[in-house]
Structure 1
Amino acid sequence: MALLDTTTVIDVGKGNPRAIRAVEKAGKEGGRLMLSAVVLFELSAGSPPGIDEKRKMLVQAFGILPFGPIHAERAGVIYKELRDAGLDIGPLDAMIAAAAICEDEVLITSNVKHFARIKELKIQSY
């Protein structure tokens, strides 16, 4: 399994060939591709104009990983540690990272700037 970041779903929806290749490769190598419930929230709250129907189709194509208490606790620790170090990535990215860490899965993203700050997070960038 692999988790897709919000930027990845948006990039796939826009037809970004690098994002599409990364998702296809992960699907072949690791099986099921999932979205954290937090990614679903972000997509629902702020999809770029014109991508809404594509977003709906993409969301239906992937499984949704519920965001539970273990994820919330880990996200709080990540968020606090980074904020205290002056490396704030925002609560939503901390939540997405926590889901990947707690599930011991790779996060597929182009947002390396934020996610690389989390040492224990496995990232596949494109």
Structure 2
Amino acid sequence: MRYLLDTTALIDFAKGREPASSRILGFSEGGDELAVCAINVAEFYAGVPPAQRGVWDEFFSTLTYWDVTAQAARHAGCLRFDFARKGRVLSTTDVIIAAVAQEKEAVIVTDNTKGLPDGRRASPVHFRLTTPGRCTTPPWSASSPGRPFSGARCASTSRR
């Protein structure tokens, strides 16, 4: 399965909040593809102090990076226009994230379903919270400062 990690999920993961922490680790250890795009990276780093950037640089280097293509940008603009005409104003950043995920046929991992188009519709992109999993070792407790995820292990559970 392919997952695009939204900023809310990344922040929850960084702060060790459940269920995001164990579920993201579970997706990773289960062989699922975890990705980010420019919007997620920029929004996340806006809250990272300089002393912690190296650790997060290493984390982001383990994820797939999806570009915001011209087609995704166009689609995002069209989504925003269409939803505005229906009385639902969505942020440009949220519709860009949705368009990238749709282009890659990925699931957005987020708790921000209100900010995303078709938040409950089962289309090529499913907007939902992360799915069940449990972490037996938090990523920050069993890791060295330069390797934030060494030693973290998640139990295998159903992730679909």
TM-score range, shorter chain: 0.7 to 0.9
Q: Say if 2:20 is the partner of 1:22.
A: no
Q: TM-score, normalised to structure 1's length?
A: 0.83
Tell me the CA shift for residue 61 of structure 1.
Answer: 2.5
Q: TM-score, normalised to structure 2's length?
A: 0.67
Range 46-55 or range 67-76, more displaced: 46-55
Q: Which amino acid aligns with 2:128?
A: Q
Tell me the CA shift for residue 93 of structure 1.
Answer: 0.4
Is the Cα contact below 8 Å between 2:95 and 2:117 reproduced in 1? no
Tell me what 1:124 maps to. 128
Is the Cα contact below 8 Å between 2:90 and 2:117 reproduced in 1? no
Is the Cα contact below 8 Å between 1:34 and 1:64 reproduced in 2? yes
Is the Cα contact below 8 Å between 1:36 and 1:65 reproduced in 2? yes
Tell me the CA shift for residue 26 of structure 1.
Answer: 2.7
SS at match of 1:110: coil
Is the Cα contact below 8 Å between 2:98 and 2:117 reproduced in 1? no
Deviations 1:87-118 (A, max 9, x none): 11200000000001111111100112212635
Tell me what 1:91 maps to. 92
- Alpha-carbon distance in 1 for matches of 2:66, 2:96: 12
- Alpha-carbon distance in 1 for matches of 2:128, 2:26: 11
Give the % identical residues: 22
List structure 1 runs of 4+ shifted beyond 4 angstroms.
48-52
Gaps of 5+ in 2: 131-160
Which has the greater radius of gyration?
Answer: 2
Tell me what 1:43 maps to. 44
Cα 1:51–1:102 change in 2 (3 A) is farther
1:42-81 maps to which residues of 2 (within 5 A)?
A: 42-44=43-45, 46-47=46-47, 52-53=52-53, 54-81=55-82
Cα 1:17–1:82 change in 2 (3 A) is same
Q: Which amino acid aligns with 1:99?
A: V
SS at match of 2:105: coil
Is the Cα contact below 8 Å between 1:109 and 1:125 reproduced in 2? yes
Tell me the CA shift for residue 52 of structure 1.
Answer: 4.6
Q: Which amino acid aligns with 1:56?
A: D
For the aligned residue pairs, the C-alpha RMSD in angstroms reads: 2.3
Is the Cα contact below 8 Å between 2:79 and 2:117 reproduced in 1? no
- Alpha-carbon distance in 2 for matches of 1:30, 1:124: 19
Aligned length: 125
Tell me what 2:108 maps to. 107
Is the Cα contact below 8 Å between 1:43 and 1:55 reproduced in 2? no
Is the Cα contact below 8 Å between 1:13 and 1:58 reproduced in 2? no
